[in-house]
Structures are given as structure tokens and as C-alpha cells.
Amino acid sequence: MKLPTQPFIDGAYRAGTGAPIQLINPASAAPLGAVEGVSVAEANAAVESAQRAWESGWRDLAPGRRAEILFNVARVLRENLEPLAQLECANIGKPIGDARDEIGLGAKVFEYYAGAVGKYFGQTIPVSRGGLDFTLRQSMGVIAAIVPWNFPFPIAAWKAAPALAAGNTVVLKPASLSPLTALRLGELAHAAGLPAGVLQILPGSGREVGDALVTHPLIRKVSFTGSTEIGRRVMELASRDLKRISLELGGKSPNIVFADSDWERAAAASPMSVFANTGQDCCARSRMYVERSVYAGFVDRFVAATRALIVGDPRLDATQIGPMVSAGQRESVEEYLADARRSGARIACGGDRPAGAGFFLNPTVLLDVGRGDRCWREEIFGPVVAITPFDDEAEMLRDVNASPYGLSGSIWTNDLRRALRVSRTVQSGVLSVNSHSSVHVEAPFGGFKQSGIGRDLGMAAMDGYTEVKNIYISES
Ligand code: NAP
């Protein structure tokens, strides 16, 4: 497999003279290759060339032509689905079936926003003075997109596609652990007709290159997905010149199972709501509340379904759970497990590494976790779930909402009034009833509280990549 090794700038792969990024295949722990990182000076120059690409063409291109190019990008991505999926699988150990789905999702995102170009517009407003008052939705300029390693391709697509559709240009910094599919995205989008400089891919250190982008005076908006800690720093730096920001951050999402639900189905479906992507998922339902009358039966079924998950080689079609992304990420999760053991939690299954190389960790079910314990309160970002019984709906919801996070969650009930009542009460940006579906290209995605600011996906994303201009034309 041929890996991209250089930043994609001004329509071509070019040398990067910043710190090189060494890649390790997480499934084997063997070196995979290296990518040249950009220096701060190269990142700054790329922002300036993205500004020129905005001013000298992309901003003023006929919307129909912009749409055509983005449809073309979607087509070219689909044509390259398999090599892109293989690349993601090797880079971060993503099971190949999931990797294919995610590349397909990225292509669909480009298609959706290509279609949005001609369907997104301002308003005419009957102002009291008479005359004609109307709004324009205008592009902003250069957008800095900073993305994490857990869903590298779809998140890159769901930032780049609406920003480009709205007429902006984009500089995208992939996470250092996962630069490969983002680099190919730059190359393929250019081959599909995106002019040089409109989408630049800048691998490099978050601390240096990320900071340089967030503080660059030509960047009009920072669209960030990552941890709450770094999101806070991005917000502080961006406040210096009042840059627009959107932040998609961490989560500690609840999965609430009522006794009146089809709880056996919930028990069968719920392991993948937390263990998919080896638990490295901002939407992972890592806190489970199960009504006491069905708790024992639910736990038995949930543990049996967890034990049946296929953990192993991510290149195989049957694999459901691949390795963790890095040795460090696995160690961080194991520290949480040590903490849980010390606090008296019971491990119903998992908690250990399977034999062999690679950064694998078996899916782990914790019982008897105290509500003040770290494993109950903090985002673990690994294959760990804690399950607790509840007796009283109101008390359970108080605990759900005591979290500083508010990203996602699921409710299982067959009582429609309860579904509505609980959905309205849970403080989170995304909720699903009798399902674990969190992400729909057509619907807004984002968090309440410390899970973020702003929304990705749906038409809401277009609002985030445009400024509203009001124009009044006098009749007198
Ligand atoms: P992270 O450490 O915050 O990194 C995210 C991105 O920020 C990476 O590209 C990173 O670059 C960059 N970065 C690091 N320091 C920076 C700085 N000082 N200034 C600007 N950029 C900087 O997060 P992660 O470990 O990659 O991802 C896991 C986190 O993302 C979890 O908390 C998860 O919940 C969250 N997440 C949220 C969503 C959502 O939609 N809400 C989706 C996915 C993931 P380097 O890689 O070079 O350090």
C-alpha cells in the first residue's frame, strides 16, 4: 500500500519541513511509515494561499459550478472507497467494514452539501420603513478545520464540505495519529476539480501548527473537533481577535433502559453503542441506567452479547472491535480500570488484553461503580461501560444531567409520553429513542454544555460557515 507522505498544499504534495510524524500500525504495533509535518511558516503560507484562492475565484464562482465540483468530489471519493478504507484500517486499526462505511459517509456528506449550494439562501424582510430589505448568506474566507483521530475521514468531510459549499476555502489539520485519509482527500478533491489552494491539508503538531492556525489573522473561523481540554484552549486563543468558532468536544453519554421497553433487544444492541470503534467515540453510551426490575436480566444478556463480539484483526470483514489507536491510549484506559478496581467496582467481563501484538483491550463491563467515581463521571475513551440500576425516573435524570457533558444518549421505552418527557429533560444535543443512531448527514449534530458550541451536519452547518449580511434598498 502506497502511503501519502507529504502535506497537500496549493494543489500538490509538497515537502514539509516541520517535525516528521511517525506512524505505527495499532493492530501489529509495527512502524507503518512517516509523514512530513508542516512548519509554522509553511502553515502560515498555506493560509495566505488559501486566502488568495478565496479572493481570486472560489468565493465568486457561480454556485452551480461550485455544486458541480462538489458532486464530482463525492463521485471520486466513492470510486476510491476501497483504497481509502484500507488506508484508514492500516493507520488507526479501524475494522475494515467500519472503515468502508465511514468513507461512504464522507462521500455522502460531499453530495449532501453539493446539493445544498442551491438550496441555502437569505430572506426578504418586511421592514416598517418600506423599501426592500433582504439578507445574504456570505462566505467568511479561510476556515481552519482541526480534526481528531477517531473518525478522521467523516469528520474531515463534515467540516470541509459545508465550508466549501458556502464559498469558503479550508485549511485542514488532521490529528497526528491519523493524517493519511485526509491527505488523500486533498489529492482526490483536487483531481475532481477543486481548484488549487481551496482545500489544503496540513499535517503537524497540534501545539505548534494548531495554535498557529487558531491565531492566524486571516483565519475567519476555527471548526474544531477534539477533547474538551483542547477545545477550551482553542476558544481562549480565538477570543483574542473574536474569531468564530465551533467546538465538537467530549461526551459521557447515557443509555437509559426502562422496564417497559423491549429491553432484551436493547441488551443485544447496546454493546455496540459503547464498544464500536473500540469505545473511542465521543457519542459512546458509556453510562447505562437500567430500571431495577429488569437490571439482572439485562446485565446477563448485555454481558453475553459483549463476550460474543469479535475482537481482532481489523483487516478481516468479520471483525467488530479493532485495537485501540495507540499504546498511550490503551494505558490511559487501563489506569481508569485500575482506579475502578481500587474503588470496589466489579468487572463482569473484559478488563484485560487479548494475547498477541497490537494495542488491543477486551470490551469491559463494570458493575457497582459509585456515582462519584471517575469511571462514572469522566470520558474514558475506550471500550469500557458502567451499568447501574435505578428506581426513580426523576432521581436518575438528575444524575444524568449532573454531567458537565451533554453530547448524545439513548432512551429505551415503549411509553410514548415517557419518551417525550425524558427526551425533553436530558440535556444533550443528540438523542435517540429505541435506537443508538446518533449521526445523520441531514440532521444537526453537536453538544450542550462542555460537549461543545455550534453544530456540524444538516443545514445548521451552513449557518456556521456563513455571515449574515442585511441590505436595505430605499424606495424613496
Ligand atoms: P485532541 O487531543 O483534542 O486533538 C484534536 C485535534 O486538535 C488534533 O488534530 C490535535 O493535533 C489538535 N490539537 C492538539 N493541541 C492543539 C492546540 N494546542 N491547538 C490546536 N489544535 C490542537 O483530541 P483527540 O485525542 O484527537 O480526540 C479525542 C477527543 O475528541 C475525545 O474527547 C472525543 O470525545 C472528541 N471527539 C468529539 C467529537 C464530537 O463531534 N463531539 C467527535 C470525535 C471526537 P495533534 O493530533 O497533532 O495533537
pLDDT 10s digits, 394-423: 999 999 999 999 999 999 999 999 999 999
DSSP 8-class letter at 121: -
- Residue in 318, 317, 319, 313 with CA at minimum distance from that of residue 357: 313
Instruction: Return the ligand 1 atom nearest residue 177 CA.
Output: 46
Cβ-based neighbour number of residue 88 at 10 Å:
26
Architecture of domain 254-440: 3-Layer(aba) Sandwich (3.40)
**Mean local confidence (pLDDT), 436-450:** 96
Please identify, by atom number, the ligand 1 atom nearest to the C-alpha of residue 21: 47
Overall residue count recorded for the chain in this entry: 476
In eight-state DSSP terms, residue 356 is S
Other CB atoms within a 10 A radius of the CB of residue 348 amount to 19
pLDDT at 230: 98
Among the CATH numbers 3.30.1360.70, 3.40.640.10, 3.40.605.10, 3.40.50.1980, which is that of 8-249+451-473?
A: 3.40.605.10
Domain positions in the chain are: 8-249+451-473, 254-440
Residue 167 alpha carbon to ligand 1 centre in Å: 26
**Which pLDDT belongs to residue 349?**
98
Counting ligand 1 atoms within 8 A of each CB, the residue from 176, 225, 405 with the most, and so the one to mutate, is 225
| Rounded distance between C-alpha atoms, residue 276 and residue 381, angstroms | 11
pLDDT above 90 (res 1): no
Q: How confident is the model at residue 438 (pLDDT cuts 50, 70, 90)?
A: confident
**For the residues 275-282, what does the mean pLDDT come to?**
98
User: What is the Å distance from ligand 1's center to 176 Cα?
Assistant: 10
What pLDDT score does 138 carry? 98
**107 pLDDT above the threshold of 90:** yes
Work out the mean pLDDT of the chain and round it to a whole number.
98
> How many angstroms is it from 299 CA to the middle of ligand 1?
33
How many Å lie between the centroid of ligand 1 and the Cα of residue 191?
28
Nearest CA to ligand 1 atom 13: 206
Between CA 336 and CA 204 the distance in angstroms is: 29
In angstroms, the CA 475 to CA 429 distance is 44
* Ligand 1: residue whose CA is nearest its atom 15: 206
The predicted-structure confidence for 191-236, as pLDDT tens digits, reads as follows: 999 999 999 999 999 999 999 999 999 999 999 999 999 999 999 9
Q: Evaluate whether 378 touches 399 at the Cβ level (below 8 Å).
A: no
How close is the Cα of 425 to the center of ligand 1, in Å?
29
Active-site amino acid positions: 248, 282
CA distance 20 to 36: 5
Instruction: Compute the distance from residue 36 Cα to the ligand 1 centre, in Å.
Output: 20
Pocket of ligand 1 (CB under 6 A): 146-151, 173, 175-177, 205-207, 210-211, 214, 225-227, 230, 233-234, 248-251, 282, 379, 381, 407, 447, 451-452
- What digits encode the pLDDT tens for the residues 341-365? 999 999 999 999 999 999 999 999 9
DSSP 308-360: TS-BS-TTSTT--B---S-HHHHHHHHHHHHHHHHTT-EEEE--SPPSSSSS-
CA dihedral 291, 321, 228, 220 (to 10 degrees): -130
Q: Which residue among 24, 94, 147, 150 is best mutated to probe the pocket of ligand 1, counting the most ligand atoms within 8 A of its Cβ?
A: 150
User: Probe ligand 1: pick from 176, 230, 332, 438, max atoms within 8 Å of CB?
Assistant: 230
This prediction's pTM: 0.98
Q: How far apart are CA 37 and CA 23, in angstroms?
A: 12
Tell me the best of 22, 94, 227 to mutate to test the pocket of ligand 1, counting ligand atoms within 8 Å of each CB and taking the most.
Answer: 227
The answer on pLDDT for 290 being more than 90 is yes
Q: Using 50, 70 and 90 to split pLDDT, how confident is the model at 439?
A: very high
123 CB burial (10 A radius; 0-12, 13-18, 19+): exposed
Share of the chain above pLDDT 70, in %: 100
Instruction: Locate the ligand 1 atom nearest the alpha carbon of residue 205 and give its number.
Output: 47
What is residue 144's predicted lDDT score, i.e. its pLDDT?
98
Place of cell 465540483: 69
SS3 10: coil
Residue 32 burial by Cβ neighbours in a 10 Å radius (0-12, 13-18, 19+): middle
Q: Quick: pLDDT tens for 52-67.
A: 999 999 999 999 999 9
Using pLDDT thresholds of 50, 70 and 90, give the confidence band for residue 307: very high
Distance in Å, CA 247 to ligand 1 centroid = 10
